[in-house]
Chain A
Amino acid sequence: MCPGTRSEITSPSGCRSIPPGSVAAPQNIRSILSSLRLARRAPRRRDDQFIADRVLTLVARLGRWWPLGLGCLAAFAGLLGPAAAQTSSSTFAVKQFREVRFDDATLDLATKTKLTTETLFNQVRCECTADRRRVRVEIEITTDRSNTTESYFVVAGANCLDSEQRIVQDANQCVLVSSGRIGNQETNIVFEATVRQLMPGGCTPDRKSLALTVYVGQDQTAVRKLEPALAYEVDGKPPTAPVKSADPSGGENLATVSFKAGSTSEQDVRYQLLCARLVDGAIAGPWRSTASKTPIFSSPATACSTASASSADAGVSSAALTSGDGGAADGGATDARALDGGIADARAAEARSDAAVAATVSDGSSGSASGLLENPLYVCSDSVAPGSLSITGLTDGQAYRFYVVAVDRAGNTSAPVDLGTTTPVATQDLWERYLAQGGKARGGYGCATAAHTRGGVTLLLVGGALLLLALARGQRRSQRRAARQGRRG
C-alpha cells in the first residue's frame, strides 16, 4: 500500500500522491479494465509466438498488481481463518459453574448472590496462608470427545491472556488450578484447589476483581477463552484502626466508651466492641495460649487463625463467661463452632445473628454479636458507629477492658484498639432518687386520684362547653354578616 490516505499506484515500485478532492480510485479501475479490454480487442493471431507473447504480457501486467493480490489473499485468510479454526475445533463449552464447595460449606451458585460469593471467598482468606482450606469446584460442561488434541485450562486470576493468546505465566497474577485433555473429559470438570491458589498475589491483596476462567487450546501458548467465567473479588487489606477519644467510664451495669474512625475515606467499615473481664487487673481469658495468656483478639492475624486455639479453650472460656460475664456468654457457645470451623456458611451466619448477646450498645443503634473473625466470646456489640457509646448489660463491680475493631465489608479487621478499663458502679437516677425520698408518683397515663379525675373532667367539660358556645356564636355572626351584606348588595 502507498503511504497516505489517498494514493495511486503508478508503477510496481512507486506511489504518486493524489490531491484531496480528486477521484483516484476510478482512474485505477479504469486503467485496469482498459488494459484488459485492449487485450481482448487485439487481433487473434493463432501462432504460438503470439499466444506466448500474450501470456507473458498478461503475467507482466498482473505482476504489477502483486501487492494488491497479496492483500486480498491476506484478507480472505483473516476472514475465513478463525471460522475454519472454529469449525475444526471442539464444541467443548462451559454451561455453568455448578458449585464451589469449601470443606464445610457449599456455595450454590444458582441461588447465591455475588456478594455471598465474595463473602465466602474473603472469609477464607485467613486460612489461605496456611493452605489448610481446600475448595472443590464443579464446572458443568458440554463434552466433546471427538477432539482428542485440545486441552482445557482452568485459571484463577485477572487478565490471564496476553496479546498472543497465551496464558500468563505469572503466579502473582494467574494460577493454573486445573487442566486436562478434552477428549478424556467425559463428565463435568471437577477439581480441588487451595484458597491460596484462588487468590494469586498472596493472601492480603488490596481489593481486586478476579475470575475463574476456562481456556481451550492445543497448549497454554495458544488458547481461547470460554464463557462464562466465575467472577469474584478478594480484599485482604485491613481497614484503618479506629482512634480512642476518651477513657471509658462506668455507670450502673454499663460503661461508656468513646472512639472515632481512623479514616474518613474508607467506606463500608463497621466497628465491633470487644469487652473483656478483668480479674486482678488482667484479662480473664479465654486465651489463645494459656501459657502466654495472649487474648484471642490481640491482632487480626490471630483472629484469623483461632481455629485450634478456640477449640482448645472453648470449654473453659464458655464456662467462665457464663458464670460472670454478662457481655457475651450466650453468643459465645454458638459462635465457637464458627470459629472452630474457620468459616461459616450463609446458614450459620443467619443463625449467628439470632444468637444475640446480653450486652447491647446504645447510641441510637443497637447491636448483637455476629462477629465472623473475632472471638465472639468478646464481642459486646457489632456494627456500631464511631462516637460515644454506652455498653449495657455489664456487671457492677466487675472491671472490664474494652477494645474496638474496625471490620470492612470483606471481613478484614484492623488491629484491636485498647479503649481502656473501667468498672460499672451502682448509681441513682432521678426516678430512683424521687421514689427513695418518698415521692408519691407512680407513673402511668391516667388520673391519680378521684378528686383529680373529677377536677380534670370538670375542666374538660367547661372548656368544651365554652368552645361549642364560641363556635355557635361565631357561626351565627358570620351568617348575620353575610345576610346584611346581601341586603346591601
Chain B
Amino acid sequence: MKGQLRRAQVALLSFACGALALPLTAARADTPRRSYASPQSFALELKLGPYSPDLDSEFASKGTTATPFADLFGGGSAVLWQTEFDVQLWRGFGSIAIGGSAGYYSKAAAACRQGDATDPAQVSCAGSANRVSGDSTRLTLVPLAALLIYRFDVLADRLNVPLVPYFKGGLNYTLWWMRNGSGSVSTATPPGGTTALRGQGGNLGWQLAGGLALRLDALEPSAARRLDADYGVNHSYLFGELVHVESKRLPDVGDTTFSAGIAFEF
C-alpha cells in the first residue's frame, strides 16, 4: 500500500505541475469573460482507481501472520469503479455540496486445494499445485457513501487558474459478499462454532478524500461556452484524489488509495 501511496503522490504532483504549466496568460488574453452562465447546482463524477481491501489488517493487529486475502488474491489490486452525484447547496467562497456515491469492486481467484489437511487453518494456498482451477472464490464490494464536499473554485472563477482543490468527507457503508465456485454465497463454520455463517454483510465506516481537479474550460473556451449554452454544463474537470476508507466493522473492507476520473458541474 505504501508503494501505491507513493505512486498516487507522484501522480497528483505531476497532475498539478502539468496543470500549472498551461498557458494561462494566453487563455486569459484570448478568452473574453463569460457573458452567460447557466444556473449551477449539481456535479457528477465518474471515477476509477485501484482498490485492495485491508482484510488482512485484522490479523496483523492481533499479532498473527495470517493473510487470507493475500493468500488467495495476492498483493495486487482490482479496479474500483465509482460514480458520485453532488447537490451544490452554497456558492460563495468556493462551494459546499452534499453528495452520494456508489461503487463496484470484484476480484476472483482459484480456490485453495484442501488436500489432506485436517486443520483448515493449515491449508496451503501457495503455488499452482495448491489451487483448484475448476473452483473459484470471489470477493465483491459495493461501497456506498454520503458525503459533504467543499470545492475551492475561487482561483478558477476569479483568477482563471484552472485548478480546483477539494475535500470530501462522510459516512461509508460497504456491502460485501464472498462467493464460492458454484456462484453461491460462501457458508462456513468458524473454529469452535456450531453455526454456519454466511459470508456477506454490510460495514459502516467513514471516508475522507482530498483531490485536485483541472478545469477543462481553459483548454477550449468556446466549446465550454457552447456546452453551457446548449446543455447547461457549466464546467468539466479531470481530477485525481486520495481517499481513505475506514471500515468500523470486520472484515475490514477499507483501504487508502487514489482514484481519477472526469466530472461535470451543471
Instruction: Identify the A interface with B (CB < 8 A).
Output: 248-256, 362, 390, 392, 422, 425-445, 447-449, 452, 455-456, 459-460, 463, 466-467, 470-471, 473-474, 477
A438-B62, A443-B200 known; A433+B148 contact, CB < 8 A:
no
Minimum distance in angstroms from B209 CB to a CB of chain A: 15
* Contact call B191/A435, Cβ cutoff below 8 A: yes
Minimum distance in angstroms from A328 CB to a CB of chain B: 17
13 chain-A/chain-B pairs, Cβ below 8 angstroms: A252-B111, A362-B183, A427-B112, A427-B113, A429-B179, A429-B181, A431-B187, A437-B59, A438-B59, A441-B201, A442-B201, A448-B248, A474-B96
**Once the chains are docked, how many angstroms separate the CA of A16 from the CA of B66?**
113
* Contact call A460/B135, Cβ cutoff below 8 A: no
**Once the chains are docked, how many angstroms separate the CA of A442 from the CA of B187?**
11
Contact mask B75-103 → A, CB, 8 Å, 1/0? Answer: 00000000000000110100010100000
Q: Which residues of B, 116-151, contact A by the 8 Å Cβ criterion?
A: 119-121, 123, 125, 132-139, 146, 148
Q: How many residues of B contact A (CB 8 A)?
A: 63
* Contact call A432/B250, Cβ cutoff below 8 A: no
* Contact call A425/B114, Cβ cutoff below 8 A: yes
Instruction: Identify the B interface with A (CB < 8 A).
Output: 55, 58-59, 62, 64, 66, 68-69, 71-73, 89-90, 92, 96, 98, 111-114, 119-121, 123, 125, 132-139, 146, 148, 170-171, 175, 178-184, 186-191, 197-202, 204, 206, 248-251
* Contact call A392/B114, Cβ cutoff below 8 A: no
* Contact call A441/B132, Cβ cutoff below 8 A: no
* Contact call B132/A439, Cβ cutoff below 8 A: no
Minimal Cβ-Cβ distance residue in B for A436: B120
A390-B182, A390-B183 known; A448+B89 contact, CB < 8 A:
no
* Contact call A433/B123, Cβ cutoff below 8 A: yes
A428-B120, A438-B191 known; A448+B249 contact, CB < 8 A:
yes
**Once the chains are docked, how many angstroms separate the CA of A452 from the CA of B246?**
12
**Once the chains are docked, how many angstroms separate the CA of A452 from the CA of B204?**
8
A390, A435, A436: the one within 8 Å of B123 (CB): A436
B residues in contact with A436, CB < 8 Å: 119-121, 123, 188, 190-191
Minimal Cβ-Cβ distance residue in B for A476: B90
A431, A466, A477: the one within 8 Å of B178 (CB): A431
* Contact call B248/A254, Cβ cutoff below 8 A: no
B residues in contact with A429, CB < 8 Å: 72, 111-112, 135-137, 178-181, 186
* Contact call A437/B121, Cβ cutoff below 8 A: yes
B residues in contact with A427, CB < 8 Å: 111-114, 132, 135, 180-181
**Once the chains are docked, how many angstroms separate the CA of A253 from the CA of B182?**
9
* Contact call B188/A432, Cβ cutoff below 8 A: yes
* Contact call A430/B199, Cβ cutoff below 8 A: yes
**Once the chains are docked, how many angstroms separate the CA of A445 from the CA of B92?**
40
**Once the chains are docked, how many angstroms separate the CA of A422 from the CA of B111?**
16
Minimum distance in angstroms from A367 CB to a CB of chain B: 14
A residues in contact with B114, CB < 8 Å: 252, 425-428
A residues in contact with B182, CB < 8 Å: 251, 253-254, 362, 390, 392
* Contact call B120/A432, Cβ cutoff below 8 A: yes
A residues in contact with B137, CB < 8 Å: 429-431
B89, B112, B132, B251: the one within 8 Å of A249 (CB): B132
